Amino acid sequence: MFTANTQQPTPSTLPYKAKTKTINPVLVVSYTTQQQAIHTTSTQQKTHTSANHKTLHKLTYQWTQTTMERTMIKKTTNESTYRGFKVNSGNSKEHACFTKTLDQIVDTIEYMLSRHSKVLSVRIDIQSARHTKTPLTSMDITRIIESAVRTLDAKASKGKNDPDIHYVWTSEKTTPDDTPHFHLNFFANANAIQNGYAFKDAISIAVKRRLQTTYDGLVNFSDSNGTKGKLIERNSPDVYAQIDAVVYAASYLAKARSKEFNPKWSRVSSCTRITRRTLSDSIR
């Protein structure tokens, strides 16, 4: 509590324009008390406002975090089919799949079929070189894909058909301390590229150039491709079965398992930008 000082004030403690001969000690005490009260009130208001801001920020962060967690839950499915096609969710539906990636896969297939009578699907896996000091990053994969597409476009430039290459890719880590590995699924005009190993060769060259290594075991042509990749023929009576097989094989990219160790809030998957089409429009 503030204690009044009833001693005669000195000139340096008096209010502005006060006269020492006529000043009343009680007035000095009152004035000082008022100033301290104003200062105390201002400090309390600032502290209260700061506390409110911190509380609001904390509540906003908690709300955002909770919303993101709920969104992540909503963005996965354990069903064996998605948008009418089979997905690799496991024999007992034990593997959750990200619907964002599944949408990217189906949308790309529909888009490609709206443009080409034949579409080739090829899945490629890339491992980071364990003996290198700098493992591959997402930016590296973007540059590797761009380089490979340029190579394939250049090879097909002498032909009549544009490869029109599109892709979906994702990153995974087996353990928190493991180097990332990557799964890519390419879609191309099968009238321009008939053999999926062309993608493996182009990606291998780009990876070795990026890592400045001669090691050949970093790029894998997935067994799910069959001998040359999976083909969809728009005018075939089996077109839906062919799409089903491609979606099932590509849905491996959508699995949630092994993505929990990726950097926080990193993308689930990436793809080329396309104009969304419906399948009925694509195979008319």
pLDDT tens sequence across 161-207: 999 999 999 988 877 777 888 999 999 999 999 999 999 999 999 99
Looking at residue 215, what is its pLDDT? 84
Strand 85-86 to strand 81-82: parallel, antiparallel, or no bridges (unpaired)?
A: antiparallel
* Whether pLDDT at 37 is above 60: no
What backbone phi and psi angles, to 5 degrees, belong to 234?
-60, -35
Per-residue pLDDT tens digits for 115-153: 999 999 999 999 876 666 678 888 999 999 999 999 999
* Whether pLDDT at 53 is above 50: yes
Residue 141's closest CA among 190, 187, 198, 184?
A: 184
Q: What is the mean pLDDT of residues 223-228?
A: 96
Per-residue pLDDT tens digits for 59-88: 444 444 444 444 444 489 999 999 999 999
* Cα 85 off chain centre by: 24
- Residue 122, H or E segment: strand 118-127
CA angle 29, 34, 39 (to 5 degrees): 125
Burial class (CB within 10 angstroms; exposed 0-12, middle 13-18, buried 19+) of 214: exposed
Question: How many percent of the chain have pLDDT more than 90?
Answer: 47
* Whether pLDDT at 106 is above 80: yes
